[in-house]
Amino acid sequence: MTSNALPVTYEDVLAAAENLKGAVIDTPCLLSRTLSQITGATVWLKFENLQFTAAFKERGALNRLLALTPEQRRRGVVAMSAGNHAQGVAYHASRLGIPATIVMPVSTPVIKVQQTESHGATVILHGEKLEEATEHARRLEVERGLTFVHPFDDPLVIAGQGTIALEMLRDVPEIDCLCVPIGGGGLISGMAVAARALKPSIEIVGVQAELYPPWRPR
């Protein structure tokens, strides 16, 4: 008999919100007059670019790091990312005194490598593609006894990202539709769990790049 239980619950998102208090910015959700005029709808934007690393990825990364045992903290973490997740892990790991190793593809822009290193992480450039960088990070996980911090496929990361929906619906309860970038799926998964718990009737639309879609449209 299969279970319909989700790996991430509303209570998980609430717990993440408590974990993140004071460590990530409760960013404003502001009305966009320009987009509202263009679309004919009332459009609100969540300004996650105001986070210290300029991206929402900090939320999930920090929630995952806070769950590490003392021994896992001592050994350190490893992550694979070409940008925002790398900086989120690096920044909060440094803040918490956790050694961090980030594997990035060799094609990663120099500025992203430098920004990640500036947060105190050790950066390893490996592979032409993200898949190759991921495989190398997984090898380091085993060889060095590190904890792998996945950019999206982790319940604690998903719960951390879901806190965005909590803040949005608290600030603008009348929101009836969320348009969320898909990517790996962590952001939209967490936000959907939180939003549907607060407002079951809310519509959730996933948005992706037309030329390089990671998901097949329905």
The model carries a pTM of: 0.93
Could you give the C-alpha distances from 142 to 122, 136, 147, 212, in angstroms and in order? 17, 10, 9, 32
What is the per-residue pLDDT for 84?
Answer: 93
Regions of the chain with pLDDT less than 50: 1-3
In percent, the amount of the chain with pLDDT more than 90 equals 90
Instruction: Judge whether 133 and 127 are in contact, CB under 8 Å.
Output: yes
Angle between helices 10-20 and 155-171 (to 10 degrees): 80
Can you list the domains of the chain with their CATH numbers? 10-55+154-206 (3.40.50.1100), 57-148 (3.40.50.1100)
Q: Measured between alpha carbons, how far apart are the two ends of the chain, in Å?
A: 28
What is the per-residue pLDDT for 139?
Answer: 97
CB atoms within 10 A of CB 192: 21
Q: What does the alpha-carbon distance between residue 137 and residue 96 come to, in Å, rounded to a whole number?
A: 21
